[in-house]
Structure 1
Amino acid sequence: MTLKTMNGAPAGASRRAFLSGGAALAGLAVATPRAFARASDRIEGLLAQMTIEEKAGQLSCFADMIRPPVGDMNPLVNIRNAQTLTAELQAGRIGVLMNGVGAQAALETQKTAVEGSRLKIPLLFAADVIHGFRTVFPIPLAEAASFDPHLAERTARAAAIEATASGLHWTFAPMVDVARDQRWGRVAEGSGEDVFLGEVLAAARVRGFQGKDLKADDSMLATPKHFAAYGAVTAGLEYNSVELSEATLREVHLPPFQAAFAAGAMTVMSAFNDVNGVPATANKRLLTDVLRGEWGFKGVVISDYTADQELVAHGFAADDRDAARLAILAGVDISMQSGLYIRYLPELVASGAVPLAVVDAAVRRVLALKEAIGLFDNPYRSLDPKAEAYHTATPAMRALSREAGARSIVLLKNDKTLLPLPKAGKRLALIGPFADDRDNVLGAWGGFFADRRLNVDLASGLRAQLADPASLVVERGCDVEAMIAGGFERAVAAAQGADIVLLAVGESQDMTGEAKSRTDIRIPPVQMRLAEAIAATGKPVVVLLRHGRAIQLEGVVRDAPAILATWFLGSEMGNAVADVLFGTVNPSGRLPVSFPIDSGQEPFFYNGRTTGRPAPADPNAQEYKARWRSIRNDALYPFGFGLTYTRFDVTDMKLSTPRLEWNDTLHVTAKVKNSGDLHGEHVVQLYIRDRVASRTRPVRELKGFQRVSLAPGAEREVRFDLKRQNLMFVGDNDYWIAEPGVFDVWIANSSVDGLTAEFELLPAG
């Protein structure tokens, strides 16, 4: 993603001097929506009439206590009751309400704003619709395992249809933070550790939420978040500081945002964290110089929940008044929940501490956003109570949740082809705290608006597909982090009476998501003791992992003959897992995060840079090399890894040329064959490495992937295209550059294997 580029150097210049003459990736320049190209006469007319108090109101977002949120508000700050909100709506002092649902109540609230206020400016209704609404889809990290942007677009579209039918216009999603430390709880909300995968899925989800027509009743404004570098919080600790180089900021953490903007996102949320000592919500360099100056973003910036007020706790603002001043001057258009703009902007403008022009510019953007989605012409769009029942939790929605769940599962291990299981003829024991649990299928944010009556637990999903439901015995054995009286004994007895044990262990829903950082990402000890007791029976075990991050696997769980990464899959979790266990769906998921050998490796990611003393191939050689004393420098299961019930062979890798001209395209091809007995899908991945550069480069970088669906015996050629722009990185003076030289390229099944070749990027002619 281009932040800054420089013109190409002459052919005779040194290797360091060859700089890009165009965008880092073609077609990803930030588009300027027509709504923001020029303020309409209507908007200018409103601005001319508005008082400073009404302007401050348009720049304020509050929890909708007229139709109170079902989920917990975090934290409980500045909550206004319904009577107070109604009075402020009539005074024109609120622009956005959030996290209230229900079309009928929203219709009545909008009438208060439009018909009861002086200037009749409609409200925006917003909410945290992260991975589904009433029908819940897999957590974003799980869905990223599908490596399927079309699926991500479809689930976002479905969520938008349900949410807008319930009276919403705007979602605070997708989260596009690149997260490389699995201790951080909010890994669950994003697309994992890779920049390219994050870019592709960010764009897909924006397209899905917003649809093709922003004024359509089922279009929902998307908000990429958190700007910026929230995924890099120190030690994976929620809300913590971020300290990173300019190159890493620009290469790793900013590109998914630009991809989201290129896909049409018109809003963005500032982050809680600081970046190199400057809190993101008061970071003028990020919010104005980079976002608006370098990228040309014309849309709306909203703070995260009370993030402007938290500038005081950061030690960056002297008090709340100072915090409001810093946030508006940095480029935050809308203050969420703190109420600081309503309280302080009028006086700040009157005193000259904040120029009126700054406030007016922010109000223009907010009004332009409302105009862009048609609220001025149709303030009651998306507020039809009849549509709410018609579009919610339909059979099609549930079917999509089931499909998405099955496509998100990753088969990590399948010794002696234990899976798929037969639907008849075997006695099964389903054991573990998640065996028949319906409360831990949705994942972080999933339960905020969910219809929990839709939740399908594992036991129900399995029994629905077994020829004889009575052939399944269910015992929890223990709770997530505590013993159950007699639980181990009953679980062991169930295992002894079974042919195969299904062990459902891992994290609870409350162990992942916001404010759920963990220092130790292992399965809780009580579950490990249960697993050891079950393994001692000698029965074959299939591990069904429940998790919202990559976790450390050890002991009998790591050594089980079959392991499925099942994440939190949403409303249809039980059915989706059963589809894969019994082979109705051939698993095709790939890991979007590296599973470490040990928690102590974190932060751990596949595309780290090499060192001057790289780890040796010999695992026993450890002196004076970049490796840990006790373990090798590898992942237990690497990024991009995943098995299927069939076998795919990738052969005959070819390059169209060994020498890539500066402005040409290199075609990389290979043949993919299904050499097994079952129809399946394979995710073919393209990686590169710049061998020698003016800055050290990652050992590999994902630059493309394709899903290939093949019947048994079928073969297909895949082709990837590489241009100079795909080879760029941030060099001296923070410009995106491409340097001539030799590159390695892989067509691979994961980030650690594959066929390899090399090519040379030639200097500009």
Structure 2
Amino acid sequence: MNFKYLTTLLFVSLFFSCTQNKEVENLEKSKKVFIDELLSKMTLEEKIGQLNLPSLGDFTTGQATNSNIGKKIEQGLVGGLFNIKSVAKIKEVQRVAVEKSRLKIPLLFGMDVVHGYETTFPIPLGTSCSWDMDLIKNMAKMAAKEASADGICWTFSPMVDISRDPRWGRVAESGGEDSYLGSQISRAMVQGYQGNTLADKQTIMSCVKHFALYGAPEAGRDYNTVDMSRGRMFNDYFPPYKAAVDAGVGSIMASFNEIEGIPATGNKWLMTDILRDKWKFNGFVVTDYTGVNEMIDHGMGDLQTVSALALNAGIDMDMVGEGFLTTLKKSIDENKVSINQLDAAVRRILEAKYDLGLFDDPYKYCDEQRAKTEIFTPENRAFAQKVATESFVLLKNDNQVLPLKTTQKVALVGPLADAKENMPGTWSVATDFSKAISLKTTLSEKLGSNLLYAKGSNLDYNQEFEKRVGVFGKSINRDGKTDDVLNNEAIAIAKKSDIILFAIGESAEMSGESSSRSNIEIPQAQKDLLKKLKALNKPIVLVLFTGRPLALTEESQLADAILNVWFPGTEAGPAITEVLYGAVNPSGKLSMTFPRNVGQVPIYYSHKNTGRPLSDEKREKCEFEKFRSNYLDVCNTPLFPFGYGLSYTTFEYSSVKISTTKLSRKESLEVTVDVTNTGDFDGKEVVQLYIRDLVGSVTRPVKELKGFQKVFLKKGEVKTVKFIITEEDLKFYDFNLDFVAESGKFEVFIGTNSDTRNKILFELI
């Protein structure tokens, strides 16, 4: 390559770069001019109206104009709506906004597209266990394509709250306990929803939630108080939100909880000092459902006071509560809120509508042909099935009970075996439950007369409890037979079978919002049936349905194999069957620790050491030592650690090497490991890299995830997996909340889960 060619190449590159920058600059100028002009025409009431986000809910076409909200839309008193489904209905409401209101400002239409639209993927906690960011990004991309085809332009997703307490039901919507993995997922989801540009009609605006710290409520009880140090906030809980901001997320939802004594919805330090000033977020912030009004119960004042508090803190849009709509004019008249603060909020909402292309085409997302051809297609369903198989975690497989053989006669039992309405899991608001596929349906098609079925037990002995967790059309359909009759039916078919397949666990709405549990064990009705089946001395495979880590100490002893399938989505039956029969080798790894019992909670791998830690030897042997940090009645170790997951094959790690033991700043070092598939099946392995900072100016975790790679190996194949470590990987927020990497010694661990002891030492100089 000659010098003249290089010079020309550089000139062309600089020319196109400058041209692109100029185009972006011109677009931003055009947007500013447009918004400035629109703002200048708006009355005070119309400005406040843009901040109002009511829920119209489902309605019959033809009612939009005559409804109370329809009249407010005509008056310019609504900025957006959510919970409306279908192009026809959304088009009807949008027509009211752009044809009957004075300024013809289009509406935003939002929905909780949390894990898919009509094609429903596994719950987010499940998909996080795939550890596959391309898969997760494409899942969000497909969800955006379906939702946008049906009129939706805004999703309240992803939920990126870090949580280390499985009692909290909303762990089902999260990416688990780890800030590094959670940040990768957050970034992938935002990129999947929003694509390269919101101008693309197949993308939708993302709303990351819940800002902030919502996943750490006291006692694991939803909406409860959160209290933690700023060091923990910045190091453990803030990173996934920051990752979303860095990825260009268009909006953020405030959390319900308080932070340092001030509810997030009214917390200026959080919403302005951190989010806007420190992180440079330039999108808009929406409250959660009635979040402004709920500050009254927090003890922050009356509706006018808390509404002013929220706007002054940096909140832009009020979901449902209408505190802004009914009180802001008075607060402005009384100088409790400035017109500049109001204008800034309105501008951000109008900018979002501009970026989505709604001013150019208010009906951009109302293409009836797309709605007919791009939703719940065979291609989408096939992809959802693939995502589900990648999310399953094999927790136990003694004596290679799995995969099953089609020649075996199978006894399928359990209340989750034929419960298709529960397969999509919590927060599946756009799902047509009639289209979900149960495990029984698929196994019946596959096995014919080799499948015997009996429900075996109800979900729980308590009928009232079943009613509480059977909401939103997800009843388990309680059987009126006595418990003994149900048990005996299961025992009878089990005796005729070669193997027992027990579909066990929670129902879909035993986790999710307002579904906290103080007892995170399998319901007793199912536990009792498992004990009776164990007495038959037949192999037992548990297909575990759950929205959270459960305490499975007893079940792990009684069962020969446990396949955790979470709630797999609309394609549950085919996905589970594929894995059970070996068409797909399970490769999921836990993104959240499974405790031995609820008394260990919160339990997570990246904990701090105490001044009296239990030795590794005694920890591994589950031995008690007086005057050390341990329990009298249970091991310190979890039942299943973070990053854990088995395969039908086996993997061996060897030849861990490091390129240098001295890492200079601004340089990098390379760590390699040889991974061998030593079993009888092709399979995927998630190779995980952890780092420990041995000495710090503040105490540091015993281990932190800093890298992972999901690799495919044919049986007998060896691959060398490489990781690059730089100074950036060693940074943390110190006591002064400066983001620093301190010189000193570090340990690197590479292995199959967070409990690996495979370590080498290096030093940052």
The TM-score with structure 2 as length reference comes to 0.92
Query: What is the CA–CA distance in structure 2 between the aligned matches of 1:161 and 1:226, rounded to whole Å?
Result: 24
Query: What is the CA–CA distance in structure 1 between the aligned matches of 2:430 and 2:277, rounded to whole Å?
Result: 37
Match of 2:629 among 622, 626, 631: 626
Cα deviation, 1:477-522, whole Å, max 9, x if unaligned, reads 1111138421001011111111100111111112100000001100
2:13 corresponds to which residue?
none
Query: What is the CA–CA distance in structure 1 between the aligned matches of 2:273 and 2:283, rounded to whole Å?
Result: 14
Contact 2:253 2:286 in 1 (8 A): yes
Cα deviation, 1:232-286, whole Å, max 9, x if unaligned, reads 1111110001100000001111110111112120110000000121100000000
1:74 corresponds to which residue?
none
1:636 corresponds to which residue?
639
Match of 2:251 among 267, 270, 277: 267
Match of 2:408 among 408, 420, 426: 426
2:612 corresponds to which residue?
613
1:175 corresponds to which residue?
159
Match of 2:71 among 68, 87, 93: 87
1:330 corresponds to which residue?
313
Give, in angstroms, the shift of residue 34 of structure 1. 9.3
Match of 2:715 among 694, 705, 712: 712
Contact 2:624 2:631 in 1 (8 A): no
SS at match of 1:685: strand
Query: What is the CA–CA distance in structure 2 between the aligned matches of 1:126 and 1:641, rounded to whole Å?
Result: 36
Query: What is the CA–CA distance in structure 2 between the aligned matches of 1:81 and 1:508, rounded to whole Å?
Result: 39
2:450 corresponds to which residue?
471
SS at match of 1:101: coil
Alignment of 1:436-451 (within 5 A): 436-446=418-428, 448-451=429-432
1:13 corresponds to which residue?
none
Cα deviation, 1:415-447, whole Å, max 9, x if unaligned, reads 111110012x2110011111111121111102x
1:659 corresponds to which residue?
662
Alignment of 1:296-307 (within 5 A): 296-307=280-291
Alignment of 1:343-492 (within 5 A): 343-423=326-406, 425-446=407-428, 448-466=429-447, 469-482=448-461, 484-485=481-482, 486-492=485-491
RMSD: 1.7
Cα deviation, 1:323-342, whole Å, max 9, x if unaligned, reads 11000000000000001111
Please tell me the residue identity of whatever aligns with 1:128: D
Query: Are 1:693 and 2:672 matched, yes or no?
Result: no
Give, in angstroms, the shift of residue 312 of structure 1. 0.3
Cα deviation, 1:645-672, whole Å, max 9, x if unaligned, reads 1111121111110000011111111111
Contact 2:158 2:190 in 1 (8 A): yes
1:43 corresponds to which residue?
35
Task: Name the CA shift for 1:39/1:326 in 2 (closer, same or farther; >3 Å).
Answer: farther
2:528 corresponds to which residue?
529
Give, in angstroms, the shift of residue 68 of structure 1. 7.4
The count of residues paired between Structure 1 and Structure 2 equals 717
1:586 corresponds to which residue?
585
Alignment of 1:15-54 (within 5 A): 40-54=32-46
Query: What is the CA–CA distance in structure 2 between the aligned matches of 1:571 and 1:37, rounded to whole Å?
Result: 45
SS at match of 1:753: coil
Deviating runs (4+, > 6 A) in structure 1? 32-38
Query: Are 1:742 and 2:734 matched, yes or no?
Result: no
Task: Name the CA shift for 1:68/1:224 in 2 (closer, same or farther; >3 Å).
Answer: farther
SS at match of 2:205: coil
Give, in angstroms, the shift of residue 54 of structure 1. 0.3
Contact 1:535 1:556 in 2 (8 A): no
Alignment of 1:52-71 (within 5 A): 52-65=44-57, 67=59
Task: Name the CA shift for 1:49/1:574 in 2 (closer, same or farther; >3 Å).
Answer: same
Give, in angstroms, the shift of residue 730 of structure 1. 1.4
Query: Are 1:546 and 2:545 matched, yes or no?
Result: yes
Q: Bigger shift: 36-45 or 560-569?
A: 36-45
Alignment of 1:121-132 (within 5 A): 121-132=105-116
Task: Name the CA shift for 1:552/1:68 in 2 (closer, same or farther; >3 Å).
Answer: farther
Give, in angstroms, the shift of residue 735 of structure 1. 1.3
Query: Are 1:680 and 2:683 matched, yes or no?
Result: yes
Task: Name the CA shift for 1:82/1:444 in 2 (closer, same or farther; >3 Å).
Answer: farther
Q: Bigger shift: 718-727 or 239-248?
A: 718-727
SS at match of 2:570: coil
SS at match of 2:360: coil
Alignment of 1:110-129 (within 5 A): 110-129=94-113
SS at match of 2:420: coil
Task: Name the CA shift for 1:63/1:210 in 2 (closer, same or farther; >3 Å).
Answer: same
Query: What is the CA–CA distance in structure 2 between the aligned matches of 1:481 and 1:348, rounded to whole Å?
Result: 52
Contact 1:692 1:742 in 2 (8 A): yes
Give, in angstroms, the shift of residue 554 of structure 1. 2.9
Task: Name the CA shift for 1:629/1:667 in 2 (closer, same or farther; >3 Å).
Answer: same
Give, in angstroms, the shift of residue 37 of structure 1. 8.3
Task: Name the CA shift for 1:129/1:556 in 2 (closer, same or farther; >3 Å).
Answer: closer
Give, in angstroms, the shift of residue 558 of structure 1. 3.7
Give, in angstroms, the shift of residue 33 of structure 1. 11
Query: What is the CA–CA distance in structure 2 between the aligned matches of 1:708 and 1:66, rounded to whole Å?
Result: 45
Contact 1:36 1:368 in 2 (8 A): no
Query: What is the CA–CA distance in structure 2 between the aligned matches of 1:68 and 1:322, rounded to whole Å?
Result: 37
* Higher RCO (Cα < 8 Å, 6 or more apart): 1
Give, in angstroms, the shift of residue 622 of structure 1. 2.6
Query: What is the CA–CA distance in structure 2 between the aligned matches of 1:260 and 1:293, rounded to whole Å?
Result: 16
SS at match of 2:521: coil
The TM-score with structure 1 as length reference comes to 0.92
2:16 corresponds to which residue?
none
Task: Name the CA shift for 1:444/1:40 in 2 (closer, same or farther; >3 Å).
Answer: same
Contact 1:66 1:82 in 2 (8 A): no
Query: What is the CA–CA distance in structure 2 between the aligned matches of 1:638 and 1:250, rounded to whole Å?
Result: 24
1:647 corresponds to which residue?
650
Task: Name the CA shift for 1:214/1:148 in 2 (closer, same or farther; >3 Å).
Answer: same
Give, in angstroms, the shift of residue 81 of structure 1. 9.7
Query: Are 1:309 and 2:293 matched, yes or no?
Result: yes
1:518 corresponds to which residue?
517
Query: What is the CA–CA distance in structure 2 between the aligned matches of 1:386 and 1:365, rounded to whole Å?
Result: 32
Task: Name the CA shift for 1:208/1:285 in 2 (closer, same or farther; >3 Å).
Answer: same
Contact 1:68 1:100 in 2 (8 A): no
Contact 1:670 1:718 in 2 (8 A): yes
Q: Which is helix-richer, 1 or 2?
A: 2
1:26 corresponds to which residue?
none
1:202 corresponds to which residue?
186
2:464 corresponds to which residue?
none
Identity across the alignment (%)? 40
Contact 2:624 2:630 in 1 (8 A): no
Query: What is the CA–CA distance in structure 2 between the aligned matches of 1:754 and 1:712, rounded to whole Å?
Result: 25
Please tell me the residue identity of whatever aligns with 2:431: A
Please tell me the residue identity of whatever aligns with 1:578: T
Give, in angstroms, the shift of residue 38 of structure 1. 8.6
Cα deviation, 1:217-246, whole Å, max 9, x if unaligned, reads 111101110000001111111000110000
SS at match of 2:701: coil
Match of 1:281 among 248, 251, 265: 265
SS at match of 2:312: helix
2:119 corresponds to which residue?
135
Query: What is the CA–CA distance in structure 2 between the aligned matches of 1:713 and 1:552, rounded to whole Å?
Result: 36
Please tell me the residue identity of whatever aligns with 1:477: G
Alignment of 1:94-109 (within 5 A): 94-109=78-93
